[in-house]
Amino acid sequence: MNRRENLPVRVLVLLHSREEGCPTLRMVACSLRMSSRTLNRRLQARGFSFRNLQSGVRYARTLQLMCQRDLSIDEIAARLGYSNQANFTRVFRRWTGRAPSVFRQQL
């Protein structure tokens, strides 16, 4: 596979590379030595969007962190790079249809 064909994989590797938060489009584009616009355009040409890739990584990390009972919902939101718990809760409901606290009780 050449570099262009595996661009989505390279983006996913960069998104997974940070323990805290999630790299932004600009950060990933800079790491790949291209502009944000070029990165978005090249991903779209392959049927992907940066936002969806980033969201998928955040969702996977969220599920891992929710299993760690010693972390509060606030701590999980902060680790994932959300500015506050309300934003995290809104996104979590969109993903799962449940509030984080309800999800955690059902684990």
For residue 13, the domain's CATH number is 1.10.10.60
Number of domains in the chain: 1
User: What is the per-residue pLDDT for 22?
Assistant: 82
Along the 107 residues of the chain, how does pLDDT read in single tens digits? 455 569 999 999 999 988 777 899 999 999 999 999 999 999 999 999 999 999 999 999 999 999 999 999 999 999 988 888 999 999 999 999 999 999 999 98
Tell me whether residue 85 is in a domain.
yes
Give which of 14, 68, 18 is closest to 76, Cα–Cα: 68
Domain range for 47? 7-106
Tell me whether residue 1 is in a domain.
no
CA atoms 59, 61, 64, 69: torsion sign: negative
Q: Is the pTM of this model over 0.85?
A: no
